[in-house]
Amino acid sequence: MLTWSATFLVIAIVAAIFGFGGIAAASTGIAQVLFILFFLLFCVTLIAQFLRGR
């Protein structure tokens, strides 16, 4: 999932360099959503690991 957010971030940067505003904004939004989702899943699994005691 982190690779998807990185992929959309790269697409957004390339689109911003070439001046495609709509594509850059959409790709940036998707990358942000995927990154937040990845981070939340990481936090949940980290807390679950601590609660299991292993």
How does pLDDT run across 3-28, given as a tens digit for each residue?
Answer: 877 787 788 788 878 777 787 788 88
Number of domains in the chain: 1
Range of the domain at 43: 2-52
C-alpha distances in Å from residue 31, one per residue of 4, 12, 35, 51: 7, 9, 6, 30
Which single residue is written with the structure tokens 């807390």? 47
Which single residue is written with the structure tokens 């990845």? 38
pLDDT score, position 51: 92
pLDDT band at 44 (very low <50, low <70, confident <90, very high): very high
Higher-pLDDT residue of 24, 39 = 39
pLDDT score, position 54: 64
